[in-house]
Amino acid sequence: MRTMTILMPMQTGCAGVTRVAVSLPYVAALIDGTKYLEPDDVKPPKAATETPQRAPRAPTIRALVRHVVRAVDAEADDARLRRRQRAQALVAYGMRQTEIAEALGVSKQTVSQDLAEVASALP
């Protein structure tokens, strides 16, 4: 059985429209070269002629190690920031550096360094 083709618009997404070739029974009187076409006159869609996209790959060991190192660094920075904020709050509460060091479980030198960093950051 002989066929002819018509290109029909089809919505592909939110605002995307593509044309799809639809086969119909052949009627010689309708073939005009613009709306109704011979099957050989229809060009393949661009996506079919392009090379296929590369399949997504799993992350490499190097990338995973880099993420772990960043996470560990972030945890250390977070712990240091929390310790500084607690020390700052305890100073505001009126405690001395030795009492703060005992409350936080760190050395007095660490507390003094943290408070010096806080003081240098103030305008």
pLDDT at 113 over 60: yes
Residue 69 to residues 57, 64, 66, 79, Cα–Cα distance (Å): 21, 9, 5, 15
Q: Do the beta carbons of residue 104 and residue 83 sit within 8 Å? A: yes
What pLDDT, on the 0 to 100 scale, is given for residue 79? 83
Domain limits of the chain?
A: 3-42, 61-121
State the average pLDDT over residues 34-54: 73
Helix, strand, or coil (residue 4): strand
Residues 70-107 pLDDT 10s: 999 998 888 888 877 777 777 777 777 788 778 878 88
Q: Highest mean pLDDT range out of 39-43, 53-57, 63-67, 92-96?
A: 63-67
Q: 3-class DSSP state for residue 94?
A: coil
**pTM for the model:** 0.36
DSSP character at residue 9: E
